């Protein structure tokens, strides 16, 4: 079974802190994604990566950055956390590189981040 793991299920941070969310997948997938999920807004893409060191902005990249130094690991970084970044963050992976539309995404369990 494909496994996507995220470093924390729950995280509480203070405004202004630098926050790292880590995601690891064990199926050698080319693509990895970061989404945030808020009530009534569905899943919104923050960033995705189709290869090591490659990244593309999603719909809401402002206030976030990402890092993919190894194929299995994709990190989401909040440079200076703000209260409006309180949300559920979901990581996903899939095969396919830039042809990824043909392949299903596998999601991690999510990290509920609260910024106070």
Partner 1 sequence: QQPVQSPQAVILREGEDAVINCSSSKALYSVHWYRQKHGEAPVFLMILLKGGEQKGHDKISASFNEKKQQSSLYLTASQLSYSGTYFCGTEGTGTYKYIFGTGTRLKVLA
Binding residues for partner 1, per CB under 8 A? 4, 33, 35, 40-45, 48, 50, 56, 58-59, 90, 98, 100-110
Q: Pick between residue 35 and residue 64 the one whose CB is nearest to partner 1.
A: 35
For residue 2, the minimal CB distance to partner 1 (Å) is 10
Hey, how many other C-beta atoms are within 10 angstroms of the C-beta on 36? 24
CA 74 to chain centre: 7
For residue 84, the minimal CB distance to partner 1 (Å) is 19
Say how far apart CA 91 and CA 33 lie, in whole Å.
6
Q: Pick between residue 33 and residue 74 the one whose CB is nearest to partner 1.
A: 33
Q: Pick between residue 52 and residue 98 the one whose CB is nearest to partner 1.
A: 98
For residue 14, the minimal CB distance to partner 1 (Å) is 26
For residue 16, the minimal CB distance to partner 1 (Å) is 30
What SS3 state is found at 101? helix
Q: Pick between residue 43 and residue 77 the one whose CB is nearest to partner 1.
A: 43
**For residues 10 and 110, is the Cβ–Cβ distance under 8 A?**
no
Q: Which residues contact 35 (CB under 8 A, 6 or more apart)?
A: 43, 44, 45, 46, 58, 89, 90, 91, 92
């Amino acid at each position: 079974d494909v496994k996507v793991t995220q470093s924390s299920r729950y995280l509480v941070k203070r405004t202004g802190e630098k926050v790292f969310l880590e995601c690891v997948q064990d199926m050698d997938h080319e693509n990895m994604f970061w989404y945030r999920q808020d009530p009534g807004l569905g899943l919104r893409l923050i960033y995705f990566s189709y290869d090591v060191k490659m990244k593309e902005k999603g719909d809401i990249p402002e206030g976030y950055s990402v890092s993919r130094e190894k194929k299995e690991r994709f990190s989401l970084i909040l440079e200076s956390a703000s209260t409006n970044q309180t949300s559920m963050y979901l990581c996903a992976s899939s095969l396919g590189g830039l042809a990824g539309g043909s392949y299903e995404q596998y999601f991690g369990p999510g990290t509920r981040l609260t910024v106070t």
